[in-house]
């Protein structure tokens, strides 16, 4: 993570943990994903986050807004 050219990409399915975890099929994945996003932002690592709406535009918009607030 300390290399100057490190770049990360991830998907973010919902700002609601249970919804995110349902999409990934992995309990706790929301907490881990969000914590890693926050850490990357804190370290100044280039990060691309894809917000997938899976047919629920309102949920996707809430997730996008949350990610913009994180940075």
Q: Is residue 23 part of a domain?
A: yes
Q: Is residue 41 part of a domain?
A: yes
CA dist., res. 63 & res. 69, Å (int): 10
Which of 6, 57, 10 lies closest to 36 in space, CA to CA? Answer: 10
CA dist., res. 19 & res. 32, Å (int): 14
Q: Is residue 1 part of a domain?
A: no
CA dist., res. 4 & res. 59, Å (int): 34
Q: What digits encode the pLDDT tens for the residues 4-62? A: 788 889 888 888 889 889 889 999 999 999 999 999 888 888 888 888 776 778 877 88
Structural domain count, the chain: 1
Long-range Cβ contacts of 52-58 (<8 Å, 24+ apart): 52/11, 52/12, 52/13, 52/23, 54/13, 54/23
Which structural domain, as residue segments, surrounds residue 31? 7-70
Which band of pLDDT confidence, cut at 50, 70 and 90, is reported for residue 1? low
């Amino acid at each position: 993570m300390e290399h100057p050219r490190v770049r990360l990409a991830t998907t973010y399915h919902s700002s609601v943990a249970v919804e995110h975890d349902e999409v990934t099929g992995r309990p706790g994945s929301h907490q881990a994903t969000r914590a890693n996003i926050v850490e990357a932002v804190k370290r100044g690592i280039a990060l691309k986050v894809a917000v997938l709406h899976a047919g629920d535009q309102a949920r996707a918009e809430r997730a996008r807004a949350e990610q913009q607030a994180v940075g």
